[in-house]
Structures are given as structure tokens and as C-alpha cells.
Amino acid sequence: MANPGVHPITSADAGRVSAFLHQNLNSRVSSEAWQKLLMPPWEDTGPNRGFQLTSDDGAVVGAYVAVYSQREVDGTTIDVCNLAAFCVLEGFRAHSLKLIRAILKQPGFVFVDLSPSGNVVAMNERLGFKRLDTSTRLVVNLPHLPPRHRQLTSDPATLERVLVGRDSLVYRDHLHAAAVEHLLVEGDGEYGYLMFRRDRRKGLRLFATPLYAGGSTEYIEGAWGAIRSHLLGKGLLFTLAEHRVLGFSRGPGTALRNPRPKMFRGDGIDARDIDYLYSELTLVAW
């Protein structure tokens, strides 16, 4: 087994790293879709796109893709590095730690891993990552009459007009994010804004996963039946309602016994300030 080199992934590497991820991590996601992870639509604030392992002949044999953003938390700017996709060919897995060390030794970042799988969870814990409380209720989406004096819409012009402050910035940054959809509930001078993705469980892509709730959470809760009916009309039979995203999780269904883990590591930020924006959850549909 050769001793592979470790190099930053640059924009120029996006095509070949995307092809590597398609071939070796998840072939259901096209190379073009993986490339959107490496080229996010918001302003680039990171030093690289992650790190890659390359063999003596320059072929990619491993990659750890990172997505960067700057976030405002209690008036302080926090640099966030989202650990987005991790894959190393079997013959080179003894060198996996080289990729991990290359990312984690970058100073000044809070690191988040929002879709760790397999033994990555235990490895993250050994590296000082903490688990977020991801308590989730699987809720059945049922037909429901629309609420009086409230409008549900995904119309971009309406979203652009109604959203203000942080919600407006979040919407503009994620308008062209490939894995999310946007829903606005408005009326009586108030609004609720929901960003969600379509998820797959047991091979069935029938699940809506809210990633961000803006505006009035109470307003979203008040229209929750109509929102679920809207999702049902889009072919989404269930909602994976995570309490830390919505602030509530009511509706017919059941609490998940083992919700999928999400993790973070870093100083100057509390678990309550970690969200799922500017991440692979918004960029890659799998």
C-alpha cells in the first residue's frame, strides 16, 4: 500500500472529487449533485473545500469534504466548519486519520458533523465531539383544511417580500441550495418560515425533515395541521419533527427510539446555537 499525500481540496478539484464520491460513497447521488456540495451557493468564507488523499499517480483515494460559513451568535462572529462527506478507499483506510487531522487542526473553527454514520460517531466522541439532543417524533401527515386568514405559499417573490432580518438572509443564501424547499405561512401581519428537506428511510423518500424554523414558532405551530397537509400534497407521508428545530413535535405518530446523531466540537458556542444551515443537509439530496 502506497503512502498517499494529503492536500486541500480546491475549486479546481471539485470535479474529480465529486466523481470519486459518486463512485465510492453514494452512487445514487450524481457527480453533478456532489459537486454542488463542493461549490455551495452562498458566499465562500472557507480556506478550502476539505482535504483529499491522493496516490502517487495523483488519483483521489480519499476525501473529507468541508463546508464553511460564518455565523453570528450573540453578537459574535463564529467560523463554522461542517464536516460534510467522508470516504476513503478500503486499501487506504489506515491513512484516514490524516484527513481528519488535517481538517481538525485548522484553528479557530467550531466543527459540526450532522450526518455521521457507522463508526464515525464513536471516533468523533474520542476526538472530543459532543452529541446534540436530536429528540425526534415521526409524525403522520394528514389532510387538513387551511387555517382561516393564513396563506401557505412557496412562491419565491412572496418569500422575498415577507421575510425580514436573519430569515431573509437565510432564505437568500439557501435559495439555490439543492436539497431544501421553502414554505411560508403568513397572515395578520405575522409569518412563520419553514425550510425542509426530503429524506429517505428504508429506501422510501417519503419523509419531510424541517431544518430551520423562522419567524414565529407559535405561528408555525398554529398552522401545523395545514403545513402537514401541504407536505402530504407534495408526496411526503411523514414528518421527522425534531424538537430542537421546531420547538414542538405534536401530531399523531411516535417518538423515534434512536434518532440519527448530530455532533459538534468547539469553544464559544453552546449546543442550542448549533443549527443545520450551511451544511450538507441543505446541499445534497440522498
Residue spans of the domains in the chain: they are 5-131+278-283, 136-260
For the segment 140-152, what is each residue's pLDDT rounded down to a tens digit? Answer: 999 998 777 789 9
Q: What is the pTM of this model?
A: 0.94
d(CA 153, CA 192): 11
Question: Span 97-119, mean pLDDT?
Answer: 94
3-class DSSP string for 177-190: CCCCEEEEEEECCE
* CATH 1.20.120.720 describes domain 5-131+278-283: no
Read off the C-alpha cell for 138: 415521526
Pick the CATH number of 136-260 from 3.10.590, 1.10.287, 3.30.420, 3.40.630: 3.40.630
d(CA 48, CA 84): 13
Res 1 pLDDT > 70: no
For the segment 220-261, what is each residue's pLDDT rounded down to a tens digit? Answer: 999 999 999 999 999 999 999 999 999 997 889 999 999 999
Burial 250-274 (b: 16+ CB within 10 A, else e): ebebeeeeebbbbbbbbeebeeeeb
Read off the C-alpha cell for 246: 421546531
